Structure 1
Protein backbone atom coordinates (compact mmCIF):
# COMPACT_ATOMS: atom_id res chain seq x y z
CA UNK A 1 0.00 0.00 0.00
CA UNK A 2 0.94 3.61 -0.36
CA UNK A 3 2.32 5.72 2.46
CA UNK A 4 0.72 9.02 3.37
CA UNK A 5 3.77 10.80 1.90
CA UNK A 6 3.37 8.99 -1.45
CA UNK A 7 -0.32 9.90 -1.55
CA UNK A 8 0.40 13.57 -0.83
CA UNK A 9 3.07 13.74 -3.52
CA UNK A 10 0.65 12.15 -6.01
CA UNK A 11 -2.26 14.48 -5.13
CA UNK A 12 -0.05 17.58 -5.18
CA UNK A 13 1.49 16.65 -8.52
CA UNK A 14 -1.81 15.54 -10.11
CA UNK A 15 -3.73 18.67 -9.12
CA UNK A 16 -0.89 21.20 -8.83
CA UNK A 17 -1.79 21.92 -5.21
CA UNK A 18 0.17 22.01 -1.97
CA UNK A 19 -1.57 19.72 0.51
CA UNK A 20 0.57 19.44 3.64
CA UNK A 21 -0.99 16.50 5.48
CA UNK A 22 -3.30 13.63 4.66
CA UNK A 23 -6.08 14.89 6.92
CA UNK A 24 -6.36 18.00 4.70
CA UNK A 25 -8.00 15.77 2.09
CA UNK A 26 -11.03 15.47 4.39
CA UNK A 27 -12.72 18.35 2.55
CA UNK A 28 -13.40 15.94 -0.31
CA UNK A 29 -12.64 18.66 -2.87
CA UNK A 30 -9.39 17.05 -4.07
CA UNK A 31 -11.03 13.64 -4.43
CA UNK A 32 -13.83 15.24 -6.47
CA UNK A 33 -11.29 16.97 -8.71
CA UNK A 34 -9.37 13.72 -9.19
CA UNK A 35 -12.53 11.78 -10.06
CA UNK A 36 -13.47 14.55 -12.51
CA UNK A 37 -9.98 14.36 -14.03
CA UNK A 38 -10.35 10.59 -14.45
CA UNK A 39 -13.90 10.70 -15.85
CA UNK A 40 -15.34 14.20 -16.30
CA UNK A 41 -18.89 12.91 -16.68
CA UNK A 42 -18.86 11.37 -13.19
CA UNK A 43 -18.98 14.58 -11.18
CA UNK A 44 -19.99 18.18 -11.84
CA UNK A 45 -17.21 20.36 -10.43
CA UNK A 46 -19.57 23.34 -10.29
CA UNK A 47 -21.32 21.60 -7.40
CA UNK A 48 -18.10 20.99 -5.45
CA UNK A 49 -17.36 23.43 -2.66
CA UNK A 50 -13.69 23.94 -3.51
CA UNK A 51 -12.78 26.40 -0.75
CA UNK A 52 -15.07 25.24 2.05
CA UNK A 53 -13.72 25.21 5.58
CA UNK A 54 -16.85 23.87 7.27
CA UNK A 55 -17.71 20.32 8.20
CA UNK A 56 -21.06 20.70 6.41
CA UNK A 57 -19.17 21.64 3.23
CA UNK A 58 -16.85 18.66 3.64
CA UNK A 59 -19.83 16.32 4.02
CA UNK A 60 -21.44 17.88 0.92
CA UNK A 61 -18.30 17.19 -1.13
CA UNK A 62 -17.91 13.64 0.16
CA UNK A 63 -21.52 12.87 -0.71
CA UNK A 64 -20.92 14.21 -4.23
CA UNK A 65 -17.88 11.96 -4.46
CA UNK A 66 -19.82 8.93 -3.25
CA UNK A 67 -22.60 9.66 -5.75
CA UNK A 68 -20.07 10.12 -8.56
CA UNK A 69 -18.47 6.77 -7.78
CA UNK A 70 -21.85 5.07 -7.50
CA UNK A 71 -22.93 6.51 -10.86
CA UNK A 72 -19.89 4.76 -12.35
CA UNK A 73 -20.93 1.43 -10.82
CA UNK A 74 -18.51 1.59 -7.89
CA UNK A 75 -20.18 0.63 -4.63
CA UNK A 76 -17.59 2.00 -2.21
CA UNK A 77 -18.84 3.06 1.20
CA UNK A 78 -16.95 6.16 2.23
CA UNK A 79 -16.70 6.65 6.01
CA UNK A 80 -17.74 10.26 5.50
CA UNK A 81 -18.23 11.38 9.09
CA UNK A 82 -15.02 9.76 10.35
CA UNK A 83 -13.07 11.26 7.45
CA UNK A 84 -14.42 14.80 7.80
CA UNK A 85 -13.68 14.60 11.54
CA UNK A 86 -10.04 14.13 10.50
CA UNK A 87 -9.61 10.52 11.61
CA UNK A 88 -6.16 9.58 10.32
CA UNK A 89 -6.79 5.86 9.82
CA UNK A 90 -9.97 6.31 7.76
CA UNK A 91 -8.38 9.08 5.70
CA UNK A 92 -5.31 6.93 5.01
CA UNK A 93 -7.32 3.82 4.11
CA UNK A 94 -9.61 5.74 1.77
CA UNK A 95 -6.70 7.64 0.19
CA UNK A 96 -4.90 4.33 -0.44
CA UNK A 97 -8.02 2.82 -1.99
CA UNK A 98 -8.69 5.92 -4.10
CA UNK A 99 -5.11 6.13 -5.42
CA UNK A 100 -5.18 2.45 -6.37
CA UNK A 101 -8.59 2.87 -8.02
CA UNK A 102 -7.46 6.01 -9.86
CA UNK A 103 -4.18 4.59 -11.12
CA UNK A 104 -5.78 1.37 -12.37
CA UNK A 105 -8.52 3.22 -14.22
CA UNK A 106 -6.13 5.87 -15.50
CA UNK A 107 -4.11 3.09 -17.15
CA UNK A 108 -7.30 1.63 -18.65
CA UNK A 109 -8.26 5.06 -20.03
CA UNK A 110 -4.75 5.61 -21.45
CA UNK A 111 -4.96 2.25 -23.18
CA UNK A 112 -8.42 3.02 -24.57
CA UNK A 113 -7.22 6.35 -25.94
CA UNK A 114 -4.12 4.78 -27.46
CA UNK A 115 -6.22 2.09 -29.09
CA UNK A 116 -8.70 4.66 -30.41
CA UNK A 117 -5.75 6.44 -32.00
CA UNK A 118 -4.66 3.19 -33.65
CA UNK A 119 -1.83 2.55 -31.21
CA UNK A 120 -2.01 -0.10 -28.54
CA UNK A 121 -0.23 0.86 -25.32
CA UNK A 122 0.30 -2.82 -24.48
CA UNK A 123 0.80 -4.18 -27.99
CA UNK A 124 -2.64 -5.79 -28.27
CA UNK A 125 -5.55 -4.85 -30.48
CA UNK A 126 -8.85 -4.45 -28.68
CA UNK A 127 -11.79 -6.00 -30.55
CA UNK A 128 -14.29 -3.32 -31.55
CA UNK A 129 -17.25 -5.05 -29.89
CA UNK A 130 -15.64 -5.06 -26.43
CA UNK A 131 -15.71 -1.90 -24.36
CA UNK A 132 -13.40 -1.37 -21.42
CA UNK A 133 -15.09 0.20 -18.44
CA UNK A 134 -14.04 2.49 -15.61
CA UNK A 135 -14.21 -0.47 -13.23
CA UNK A 136 -11.23 -2.37 -11.84
CA UNK A 137 -10.45 -5.92 -12.97
CA UNK A 138 -11.56 -8.92 -10.93
CA UNK A 139 -8.14 -8.96 -9.18
CA UNK A 140 -8.40 -5.27 -8.36
CA UNK A 141 -11.94 -5.77 -7.06
CA UNK A 142 -10.70 -8.42 -4.67
CA UNK A 143 -7.79 -6.27 -3.54
CA UNK A 144 -9.88 -3.15 -3.11
CA UNK A 145 -12.94 -4.85 -1.64
CA UNK A 146 -15.27 -3.14 -4.09
CA UNK A 147 -18.79 -4.41 -4.68
CA UNK A 148 -20.15 -3.70 -8.12
CA UNK A 149 -23.71 -3.34 -9.34
CA UNK A 150 -22.85 -4.82 -12.71
CA UNK A 151 -22.85 -8.53 -13.46
CA UNK A 152 -19.09 -8.86 -13.17
Structure 2
Protein backbone atom coordinates (compact mmCIF):
# COMPACT_ATOMS: atom_id res chain seq x y z
CA UNK A 1 0.00 0.00 0.00
CA UNK A 2 2.93 2.30 0.65
CA UNK A 3 3.63 2.37 -3.09
CA UNK A 4 0.16 3.67 -4.02
CA UNK A 5 0.34 7.27 -5.15
CA UNK A 6 -1.78 10.08 -3.83
CA UNK A 7 -3.45 10.37 -7.21
CA UNK A 8 -4.43 6.69 -7.12
CA UNK A 9 -5.87 7.04 -3.62
CA UNK A 10 -7.89 10.06 -4.68
CA UNK A 11 -9.11 8.25 -7.79
CA UNK A 12 -10.34 5.34 -5.65
CA UNK A 13 -12.00 7.67 -3.15
CA UNK A 14 -13.66 9.79 -5.84
CA UNK A 15 -14.99 6.74 -7.67
CA UNK A 16 -16.29 4.99 -4.57
CA UNK A 17 -17.98 8.05 -3.09
CA UNK A 18 -18.70 10.03 -6.27
CA UNK A 19 -16.69 12.97 -5.03
CA UNK A 20 -14.51 15.53 -6.76
CA UNK A 21 -11.61 15.75 -4.32
CA UNK A 22 -8.37 17.08 -5.77
CA UNK A 23 -6.21 17.00 -2.63
CA UNK A 24 -5.59 14.46 0.12
CA UNK A 25 -5.92 17.34 2.58
CA UNK A 26 -9.65 17.58 1.88
CA UNK A 27 -10.10 14.29 3.75
CA UNK A 28 -9.35 16.23 6.95
CA UNK A 29 -12.98 17.37 7.02
CA UNK A 30 -13.83 13.80 8.12
CA UNK A 31 -16.83 13.36 5.82
CA UNK A 32 -15.17 11.07 3.30
CA UNK A 33 -13.75 8.81 6.00
CA UNK A 34 -17.23 8.41 7.49
CA UNK A 35 -18.73 7.51 4.14
CA UNK A 36 -16.04 4.95 3.35
CA UNK A 37 -17.14 3.19 6.54
CA UNK A 38 -20.76 3.53 5.40
CA UNK A 39 -19.88 1.78 2.14
CA UNK A 40 -18.71 -1.18 4.25
CA UNK A 41 -21.40 -1.30 6.93
CA UNK A 42 -24.32 0.65 5.43
CA UNK A 43 -25.47 2.01 8.80
CA UNK A 44 -23.41 5.15 9.40
CA UNK A 45 -25.83 8.01 10.30
CA UNK A 46 -24.98 10.06 7.24
CA UNK A 47 -27.55 12.72 8.19
CA UNK A 48 -25.14 13.64 11.00
CA UNK A 49 -22.15 13.86 8.66
CA UNK A 50 -21.54 17.23 7.03
CA UNK A 51 -19.85 16.41 3.74
CA UNK A 52 -19.20 20.06 2.87
CA UNK A 53 -17.87 21.03 6.31
CA UNK A 54 -15.81 24.20 6.11
CA UNK A 55 -14.80 24.90 9.71
CA UNK A 56 -12.70 22.95 12.17
CA UNK A 57 -15.50 22.48 14.70
CA UNK A 58 -17.55 20.86 11.90
CA UNK A 59 -14.63 18.58 11.07
CA UNK A 60 -14.44 17.51 14.71
CA UNK A 61 -18.17 16.74 14.72
CA UNK A 62 -17.69 14.44 11.71
CA UNK A 63 -14.87 12.61 13.45
CA UNK A 64 -17.05 12.16 16.53
CA UNK A 65 -19.49 10.26 14.32
CA UNK A 66 -16.57 8.16 13.10
CA UNK A 67 -15.43 7.47 16.68
CA UNK A 68 -18.90 6.18 17.53
CA UNK A 69 -18.78 3.80 14.57
CA UNK A 70 -15.33 2.55 15.59
CA UNK A 71 -16.66 1.93 19.09
CA UNK A 72 -19.82 0.17 17.87
CA UNK A 73 -17.90 -2.03 15.41
CA UNK A 74 -15.07 -2.65 17.89
CA UNK A 75 -12.45 -1.26 15.49
CA UNK A 76 -9.22 -1.05 17.46
CA UNK A 77 -7.64 1.94 15.76
CA UNK A 78 -6.94 5.32 17.40
CA UNK A 79 -8.19 8.29 15.37
CA UNK A 80 -5.72 11.20 15.60
CA UNK A 81 -8.47 13.81 15.34
CA UNK A 82 -6.37 16.77 16.45
CA UNK A 83 -3.89 16.13 13.63
CA UNK A 84 -6.37 15.19 10.91
CA UNK A 85 -8.58 18.27 11.32
CA UNK A 86 -5.57 20.49 10.62
CA UNK A 87 -5.86 19.18 7.05
CA UNK A 88 -2.16 18.53 6.60
CA UNK A 89 -1.28 16.24 3.71
CA UNK A 90 1.01 13.74 5.46
CA UNK A 91 -1.30 13.00 8.41
CA UNK A 92 -4.30 12.49 6.17
CA UNK A 93 -2.30 10.48 3.64
CA UNK A 94 -1.28 8.00 6.33
CA UNK A 95 -4.84 7.70 7.64
CA UNK A 96 -6.31 7.38 4.14
CA UNK A 97 -3.85 4.57 3.42
CA UNK A 98 -5.07 2.78 6.54
CA UNK A 99 -8.72 3.38 5.54
CA UNK A 100 -8.02 1.92 2.09
CA UNK A 101 -6.43 -1.20 3.59
CA UNK A 102 -9.35 -1.57 6.01
CA UNK A 103 -11.82 -1.17 3.12
CA UNK A 104 -10.01 -3.76 1.01
CA UNK A 105 -10.24 -6.24 3.88
CA UNK A 106 -13.87 -5.58 4.84
CA UNK A 107 -15.84 -4.39 1.82
CA UNK A 108 -18.18 -7.15 0.72
CA UNK A 109 -18.46 -6.15 -2.93
CA UNK A 110 -22.07 -5.00 -2.63
CA UNK A 111 -23.24 -2.09 -4.71
CA UNK A 112 -23.04 1.29 -3.04
CA UNK A 113 -24.97 4.42 -4.05
CA UNK A 114 -22.93 7.12 -2.35
CA UNK A 115 -25.06 10.05 -3.54
CA UNK A 116 -28.29 8.43 -2.35
CA UNK A 117 -26.79 7.58 1.05
CA UNK A 118 -25.90 11.22 1.66
CA UNK A 119 -29.23 12.30 0.15
CA UNK A 120 -27.59 14.49 -2.45
CA UNK A 121 -26.00 16.71 0.20
CA UNK A 122 -23.30 19.05 -1.18
CA UNK A 123 -19.74 17.82 -0.89
CA UNK A 124 -17.71 20.90 -1.80
CA UNK A 125 -14.95 21.28 0.76
CA UNK A 126 -13.04 24.58 0.93
CA UNK A 127 -9.95 24.96 -1.22
CA UNK A 128 -8.25 26.92 1.56
CA UNK A 129 -7.86 23.94 3.88
CA UNK A 130 -4.77 22.94 1.94
CA UNK A 131 -1.92 24.60 0.03
CA UNK A 132 -2.29 25.22 -3.68
CA UNK A 133 -1.57 22.08 -5.65
CA UNK A 134 1.42 22.10 -7.95
CA UNK A 135 1.67 20.85 -11.51
CA UNK A 136 2.80 17.40 -10.41
CA UNK A 137 -0.39 16.75 -8.42
CA UNK A 138 -2.84 18.69 -10.54
CA UNK A 139 -4.97 15.70 -11.54
CA UNK A 140 -4.99 11.95 -11.65
CA UNK A 141 -4.87 10.29 -15.03
CA UNK A 142 -5.07 6.75 -13.69
CA UNK A 143 -6.45 5.29 -10.50
CA UNK A 144 -7.44 2.26 -8.54
CA UNK A 145 -10.77 0.64 -9.30
CA UNK A 146 -13.28 -0.14 -6.57
CA UNK A 147 -11.51 -3.39 -5.74
CA UNK A 148 -8.07 -1.78 -5.72
CA UNK A 149 -7.34 -2.67 -9.36
CA UNK A 150 -5.77 -0.28 -11.81
CA UNK A 151 -8.01 1.28 -14.41
CA UNK A 152 -10.71 2.96 -12.34
CA UNK A 153 -12.41 6.17 -13.35
CA UNK A 154 -10.33 9.31 -13.45
CA UNK A 155 -11.64 11.73 -10.80
CA UNK A 156 -13.18 14.85 -12.19
CA UNK A 157 -10.52 17.46 -11.64
CA UNK A 158 -9.48 20.81 -13.01
CA UNK A 159 -7.54 21.50 -16.19
CA UNK A 160 -4.35 19.57 -16.70
CA UNK A 161 -1.20 21.25 -15.54
CA UNK A 162 -0.13 24.03 -17.84
CA UNK A 163 -3.44 24.24 -19.71
CA UNK A 164 -5.01 27.03 -17.63
CA UNK A 165 -5.01 30.46 -19.23
CA UNK A 166 -3.86 33.44 -17.14
CA UNK A 167 -7.41 34.70 -16.58
CA UNK A 168 -8.47 31.24 -15.39
CA UNK A 169 -5.61 31.22 -12.88
CA UNK A 170 -6.71 34.62 -11.59
CA UNK A 171 -10.31 33.43 -11.25
CA UNK A 172 -9.12 30.38 -9.31
CA UNK A 173 -7.11 32.58 -6.95
CA UNK A 174 -10.08 34.91 -6.48
CA UNK A 175 -12.27 31.93 -5.64
CA UNK A 176 -9.73 30.78 -3.07
CA UNK A 177 -9.64 34.26 -1.54
CA UNK A 178 -13.44 34.16 -1.20
CA UNK A 179 -13.20 30.73 0.42
CA UNK A 180 -10.52 32.04 2.80
CA UNK A 181 -12.72 34.98 3.79
CA UNK A 182 -15.60 32.61 4.53
CA UNK A 183 -13.27 30.36 6.51
CA UNK A 184 -11.96 33.31 8.54
CA UNK A 185 -15.51 34.45 9.31
CA UNK A 186 -16.27 30.97 10.61
CA UNK A 187 -13.16 30.96 12.80
CA UNK A 188 -14.05 34.37 14.21
CA UNK A 189 -17.59 33.19 14.97
CA UNK A 190 -16.20 30.09 16.66
CA UNK A 191 -13.76 32.21 18.69
CA UNK A 192 -16.51 34.57 19.83
CA UNK A 193 -18.73 31.63 20.75
CA UNK A 194 -16.17 30.08 23.09
CA UNK A 195 -15.04 33.45 24.47
CA UNK A 196 -18.64 34.22 25.47
CA UNK A 197 -18.83 30.91 27.33
CA UNK A 198 -15.61 31.61 29.22
CA UNK A 199 -16.79 35.13 30.03
CA UNK A 200 -20.02 33.77 31.53
CA UNK A 201 -18.01 31.35 33.66
CA UNK A 202 -15.71 34.17 34.81
CA UNK A 203 -18.65 36.34 35.88
CA UNK A 204 -20.33 33.46 37.71
CA UNK A 205 -17.13 32.56 39.60
CA UNK A 206 -16.51 36.16 40.62
CA UNK A 207 -20.11 36.59 41.77
CA UNK A 208 -19.87 33.46 43.91
CA UNK A 209 -16.62 34.59 45.48
CA UNK A 210 -17.95 38.08 46.23
CA UNK A 211 -21.46 37.27 47.48
CA UNK A 212 -20.85 34.11 49.48
CA UNK A 213 -18.86 33.34 52.59
CA UNK A 214 -17.04 30.45 50.98
CA UNK A 215 -14.64 28.45 53.02
CA UNK A 216 -12.72 25.23 52.53
CA UNK A 217 -12.47 23.27 49.32
CA UNK A 218 -15.35 25.00 47.49
CA UNK A 219 -13.75 28.42 47.72
CA UNK A 220 -10.37 26.98 46.79
CA UNK A 221 -11.89 25.34 43.72
CA UNK A 222 -13.43 28.60 42.53
CA UNK A 223 -10.11 30.36 43.00
CA UNK A 224 -8.35 27.67 40.96
CA UNK A 225 -10.92 28.12 38.18
CA UNK A 226 -10.35 31.86 38.31
CA UNK A 227 -6.59 31.32 38.15
CA UNK A 228 -6.99 29.25 34.97
CA UNK A 229 -9.24 31.89 33.39
CA UNK A 230 -6.71 34.66 34.08
CA UNK A 231 -3.59 32.75 33.03
CA UNK A 232 -1.72 34.00 29.95
CA UNK A 233 0.97 32.85 27.54
CA UNK A 234 3.64 34.69 25.61
CA UNK A 235 1.96 36.39 22.69
CA UNK A 236 -1.53 35.93 24.17
CA UNK A 237 -1.54 38.50 26.98
CA UNK A 238 -4.74 40.45 27.49
CA UNK A 239 -4.39 43.88 25.82
CA UNK A 240 -4.34 46.86 28.19
CA UNK A 241 -7.49 48.28 26.60
CA UNK A 242 -9.43 45.11 27.32
CA UNK A 243 -8.10 44.86 30.87
CA UNK A 244 -9.15 48.45 31.51
CA UNK A 245 -12.68 47.72 30.34
CA UNK A 246 -12.86 44.68 32.63
CA UNK A 247 -11.77 46.74 35.62
CA UNK A 248 -14.60 49.19 35.00
CA UNK A 249 -17.27 46.48 34.91
CA UNK A 250 -19.33 45.80 37.98
CA UNK A 251 -20.96 42.54 38.89
CA distance in structure 1 between the aligned counterparts of 2:97 and 2:52, rounded to whole angstroms: 23
Gaps in structure 2 of 5+ consecutive residues: 111-251
* Equivalent in the alignment of 2:59: 58
CA distance in structure 1 between the aligned counterparts of 2:98 and 2:76, rounded to whole angstroms: 13
String of CA shifts for 1:64-108, please: whole Å, max 9, x gaps.
1122122111021111111110222211110000000011101xx
* Equivalent in the alignment of 2:104: 103
Q: Which has the larger radius of gyration?
A: 2
* Equivalent in the alignment of 1:39: 41
Tell me the secondary structure at the aligned position of residue 68 of structure 1: helix
Gaps in structure 1 of 5+ consecutive residues: 112-152
How far the C-alpha of 1:46 sits from its partner, in A, is 0.9
How far the C-alpha of 1:45 sits from its partner, in A, is 0.5
Whether the aligned pair in 1 keeps the contact of 2:34 and 2:49 (CA below 8 Å) is yes
Whether the aligned pair in 2 keeps the contact of 1:70 and 1:76 (CA below 8 Å) is no
How far the C-alpha of 1:3 sits from its partner, in A, is 2.3
CA distance in structure 1 between the aligned counterparts of 2:59 and 2:85, rounded to whole angstroms: 6
Cα pair distance change 1:110/1:17, threshold 3 Å: closer
CA distance in structure 1 between the aligned counterparts of 2:77 and 2:40, rounded to whole angstroms: 17
Whether the aligned pair in 2 keeps the contact of 1:29 and 1:61 (CA below 8 Å) is yes
CA distance in structure 2 between the aligned counterparts of 1:84 and 1:12, rounded to whole angstroms: 20
Structure 1 range deviating more: 12-21 or 80-89: 80-89
TM-score (norm 2): 0.41
CA distance in structure 1 between the aligned counterparts of 2:51 and 2:57, rounded to whole angstroms: 13
How far the C-alpha of 1:110 sits from its partner, in A, is 3.8
Tell me the secondary structure at the aligned position of residue 13 of structure 1: helix
4+ runs of 1 displaced by more than 2 Å? none
TM-score (norm 1): 0.67
